[in-house]
Amino acid sequence: MSWLHIVDELYIHVLVNSVCDKTEVTAEVQEAEELAGRLRNTVEILLCKVCGEMNAKRCARCKVIVYCGKEHQKVDWKVHKRVCVSLLR
């Protein structure tokens, strides 16, 4: 399984430069790292997978999928149980 399912990573930044100028690439990498640091300091909003309600809680096992309560976790369990173990970090 790829690492793209990880929720904690807010974005992927790919740097492609046609000119191999180390100074320019280093500056771009530093800028990307600074942006990532600012994003880590932002508030995370968790939305229930079933209804979209805010301030939901993560699945206790995989810590990826989010539900507003036990009722919606039960509603989604038939689907989620197939992937829950594979999402474990």
At residue 26, the pLDDT reads 75
Domain check: are 69 and 83 in the same one? yes
Q: Is residue 86 part of a domain?
A: yes
Range of the domain at 32: 9-40
User: From residue 55, how far is each of 27, 49, 72 by CA, in Å?
Assistant: 37, 12, 14
Q: Is residue 3 part of a domain?
A: no
Domain check: are 28 and 49 in the same one? no
Whether this model's pTM surpasses 0.95: no
Averaged over 37-48, what is the pLDDT?
74
At residue 1, the pLDDT reads 46
Which position has the token pair 């970090």?
Answer: 89
Predicted confidence (pLDDT) per residue in 1-31, tens digit: 455 555 555 556 566 656 566 776 677 778 8
At residue 43, the pLDDT reads 66
Domain check: are 33 and 50 in the same one? no
Burial of 66 (0-12, 13-18, 19+ CB in 10 A): buried
- Please say if the pLDDT value at position 68 is more than 90: yes
Domain check: are 69 and 29 in the same one? no
User: What mean pLDDT value characterizes the chain?
Assistant: 76
Residue 54 or 11, more confident: 54
Q: Is residue 62 part of a domain?
A: yes
Q: Is residue 34 part of a domain?
A: yes
E strands, the chain, in order: 57-58, 66-67
Domain check: are 61 and 79 in the same one? yes
Domain check: are 25 and 62 in the same one? no
> If DSSP codes are grouped into helix, strand and coil, which group holds residue 67?
strand
